[in-house]
Amino acid sequence: MSDFIDLCLRRQSCRNFAVKPVEHEKLVNCVEAGRLAPSGCNGQPWSFVVVESPAIVAEVAKCGQQNGMNQFLANAGAFIVVLEEHAVLMPGIRKMLDSQYFAKGDLGAATVQVCLEAETQGLGSCIIGIYDRDELCKLLDIPVGKNFAALIAIGYAADSKVRAKARKPLEQITRFV
């Protein structure tokens, strides 16, 4: 097995964070990994908000706990918000494609690189899909209407058990031609 597949197997959605702060440098490395992600025509349609001040972390956690969901966020040590920005495409390409044509995939790549870098540094992460975007905009001074690509909770896992991956079998989803 390659080292990278081993990393992919170890990266799992952490839903049991220890009450332990996350070092600033490790968070910088996470966003650096996101910044280095590939993107269509190198358009880089992203920016990141790193939430590390404990009082704001607690407020962001509440945004992700709507209707009693995601209670584990109460112990998250930090959050990284991935925002969609305008992709800077070369003029020739711009004539053919909408500037955000590649953005969805680009933002997914950046998000997963953040999570994999977290894992590499011994941190757990969990991408959160349902949260109060309006409240998050207010809290983090994000313009209303901005597209959120991801809210990622980060922290030290309270237990080190690696779960087996529940995934469709390779044969079912792959064709070699």
By the 8 A CB rule, do 2 and 143 touch? no
Count of residues touching ligand FMN (by CB under 6 A): 10
Where in 23-82 is the site for ligand FMN (CB under 6 A)? Answer: 70
The closest residue (CB) to ligand FMN is: 129
Q: Is 161 in the site for ligand FMN (CB under 6 A)?
A: no
Q: Is 113 in the site for ligand FMN (CB under 6 A)?
A: no
Pick 15 or 133: Cβ nearer ligand FMN: 15
Q: What's the CA gap between 9 and 65, in Å, rounded?
A: 27
Pick 89 or 110: Cβ nearer ligand FMN: 110
- How many of the other CB atoms lie within 10 Å of CB of 79? 29
Candidate residues 37, 41, 93, 127; the one interacting with ligand FMN per rule CB under 6 A: 127
Q: Calculate the CA 153 to chain-centre distance.
A: 8
Pick 13 or 42: Cβ nearer ligand FMN: 13
Amino acid at 135: E
Q: Calculate the CA 141 to chain-centre distance.
A: 19
By the 8 A CB rule, do 4 and 160 touch? no
Pick 127 or 140: Cβ nearer ligand FMN: 127
Candidate residues 31, 126, 152, 157; the one interacting with ligand FMN per rule CB under 6 A: 126
Q: CA quadruple 111, 113, 117, 120: dihedral positive or negative?
A: positive
Which residues are at the interface with ligand FMN (CB under 6 A)? 12-13, 15, 70, 126-130, 165
